[in-house]
Amino acid sequence: MAPDGSDRVRAQPKILSYVLDIPNLCSLSGLACTVLALYFILRGHFDAAMIGMVWAVAFDWADGLIARRLKNRTGDDRQFGGQLDVLIDIVSYGVTPAVLLMCYGQFAPIFLIGAFIVLAASAIRLSYFSTFGLSTDAKYTGLAMDNNSLALVFVFLFAGFFRVDQFSIVLLVTCLILAGLNVSEIKTPKLSGNPISVYGLGVYTLSTTGFYLWRLY
């Protein structure tokens, strides 16, 4: 071994040491919102679930903004945060819409098929970009998955105008369209890194939260 210890194996950091990273705390806060959304979906409280879903996106966007502004993050911090984001994304934007679709459709077989397509498209998209990375220009290939939740929260605003059986079909069609767009070759803008889009998301989050709270009470 060299006297300066240059060939010494680097000590592996503790697993929970990354929890103290502020962007990762934001990511985990978004995951907590997703868990709440899933809880309310399974209980049949869909309006409350929409609040959890939109706040999950808000925290997801916040962690990226914070991460880009922090100057002392290491390469390991960035790599860990990226992996954490991917795993949370599959739950927030894949599992949650799939469970929503099955529960609202009262577990009819066609909604089970739709749920599989939604989840498969999410897994394929995230696997693709984990392998090849994101494009370096100002656009994504395909629809970014956070838009799935934003679209579903918007569509649910009109649930009261339909019977449950009618709106379940609207929800199914919406989810299938979103799944197709997720794995398509169309170019879509990177909204999460745009300050104007972030302010717009803030307004959208607060306004939809207020509306769903009003509808709950």
Report the C-alpha gap between 143 and 183 in whole angstroms.
7
Sign of CA dihedral 162, 110, 53, 147: negative
Domain limits, the chain: 21-216
Contacts of 53 (CB under 8 A, 6+ apart): 33, 34, 37, 92, 96, 149, 152, 153
21-216 CATH pick, 1.20.1260.10, 1.20.120.1760, 3.30.2320.50, 2.40.110.10? 1.20.120.1760
Comparing 50-54, 127-131, 161-165, which segment has the lowest mean pLDDT? 127-131
pLDDT score of 9: 55
> Exposed (0-12), middle (13-18) or buried (19+): which is 182, by Cβ within 10 Å?
buried
- What is the pLDDT confidence band of residue 1, given thresholds at 50, 70 and 90? very low
pLDDT, tens only, 41-96: 999 999 999 999 999 999 988 877 776 666 676 666 677 777 888 899 999 999 99
pLDDT score of 131: 83
SS3 content of the chain, % helix, strand, coil (to 5): 75, 5, 20
- What is the pLDDT confidence band of residue 136, given thresholds at 50, 70 and 90? low
Q: What is the mean pLDDT of the chain?
A: 87
- What is the pLDDT confidence band of residue 171, given thresholds at 50, 70 and 90? very high
